[in-house]
Structure 1
């Protein structure tokens, strides 16, 4: 099979006219050619931080503080999760995963509450879908062992030293929330030598230096941070220091749409459209240890095709900027996963 149009090729998303040839699930070639198609072809998205279980409680908890909303063990989301049946949680997660798939997301890095049963629930929810979530268990070492790693809530919430060591020994991912409401949990989070940090809204100067010197990737979730009232992350400063990826965070607070997250981040921060698109694709893929997020030969064929002749995109002069700041669900023509 092949797809044609304006291809956003490589890590810099150089727009070239031509076709992407796919064989056995892999990009066999990116051919420059004079093609008739007005489509825009780009890598599928990687949503680098989600809490999909919150799909049972969309738009719940208006006006509550961050702690009242999500702090374990008795924040609103945790109470609602305990009250919901297994079937309710699986169906709600399945619908969010389906939405992500339809809007061009190949995977998400999911911080999955509920121990082993929580990991089992999202695997059940994803069964039969083409989106393949990277699941980080929470709460127990057993949840880490049956998943792709461990997603820690934050250094102030518990002592994660033994879990960090167990995750390292298992060769799996360890991510942790840090700096969401204040700077005080950033240093202890860095002391765990995590594979990535989430949020980092309130760094101090020594945190910038340490993150850069230790090459710790960061996942930012600016829409979520704004909604919970903790501020917004210093995106430009982090992009200058380290690898930065985008996540949509709690489905309770925000749609898991990478289109919306990219547009918000791009209009919030003084960074290029190319940098934001890397944050939504290859940077998250590399954090998760995946080989996609780039349209180039030899990569897995995880592609998003947009209708460049839609009412929204017709007449676009800069396709990368258009993808980041303008495109949406209605422009999706095809998702190749």
Structure 2
């Protein structure tokens, strides 16, 4: 198969007119040519941090603090997860996964509550879909062994050294929340030598130096941070020091839309449009260990096609800026996963 239009090629998303040739799920060629298409072809998104179990409780918890909303074991989300029947949780997670797939997300990196059973429930929820979760189990080493790694809540919530050692022996991912409410858990999180940190809203200069020295990636979730009133992450400082990816966090708080996350990040930080698009694609793929997130020959063909002549996008002068700051679900013409 081939896709024609303006192709956002390579890690800089250089716009070239032509076609992408796809063979056996791989980008076989990118051919520059004059084509009769207004489509925009770009890499599909990688949502680098989600909690899709929260799909059972969208917009619950108005007025609650971050701790009251999500802190284990008795935050609102955890109480609701315990009280909701398994079938209802699976159905809700499937609806969120379907939404992500339809809006151009190839994969999402999920911190999955519920131990081993939580991992199995998400696998059941996405069965038959093309969106591919990278699941990090929580709560037990057994959950990590059933998943692609372990997702820790935060260093102030417990000692995760056993789980970190187990993931390292298994060659799996270890991610941990850090610096969300304050700076107190950033150093202990870095002491675990994680594969990535999530949030990092409140890093101190020493933390930024350690992040840079250890080359640990950071996943930021600006919409979530604003909803929970903890502030915005210092995206520019982080981009200047390490790989930064973008996630939508709890479905309880925000839709799992990478379009909305990109627009929000671009308009409320000083990251450039290219940097934000890279955060939503290639950098997320790097954090998750995936071979997608960029339109290059030999890469997995995880691609998103936008209608460049939609009422919303027609007349754009800067295609990358239009994709990041303006595009949305209604502009999606095709998703190739």
Give the TM-score category using the shorter length: over 0.9
After TM superposition, the structure 1 = structure 2 runs for residues 81-230 of structure 1, keeping only pairs within 5 Å, are 81-230=81-230
| Aligned-pair CA distance for 1:57 | 0.1
Aligned to 1:59: 59
Q: Deviations over 1:3-35 (max 9, x none)?
A: 000000000000000000000110000000000
TM-score (norm 2): 1.00
Q: Deviations over 1:171-225 (max 9, x none)?
A: 0000000000000000000000000000000000100111001101000000000
What is the root-mean-square deviation in Å for CA atoms of aligned residues?
0.3
Q: Deviations over 1:149-186 (max 9, x none)?
A: 00000000011011100010000000000000000000
Q: Any stretches of 5+ residues in structure 1 without a counterpart?
A: none
Q: Any stretches of 5+ residues in structure 2 without a counterpart?
A: none
The CA distance in 2 between the partners of 1:269 and 1:291, in whole Å, is: 28
Aligned to 1:68: 68
| Aligned-pair CA distance for 1:271 | 1.5
The CA distance in 2 between the partners of 1:204 and 1:195, in whole Å, is: 20
Aligned to 1:234: 234
The CA distance in 2 between the partners of 1:296 and 1:203, in whole Å, is: 34
Q: Secondary structure at the match of 1:291?
A: coil
Aligned to 1:40: 40
Q: Deviations over 1:201-251 (max 9, x none)?
A: 000010011100110100000000000000010001100110000000000
TM-score (norm 1): 1.00
After superposing on structure 2, the runs of 4+ consecutive aligned residues of structure 1 that deviate more than 2 Å are none
Q: Secondary structure at the match of 2:15?
A: strand
Aligned to 1:311: 311
Aligned to 1:30: 30
Count of paired positions: 337
The CA distance in 2 between the partners of 1:12 and 1:215, in whole Å, is: 21
Aligned to 2:323: 323
| Aligned-pair CA distance for 1:37 | 0.1
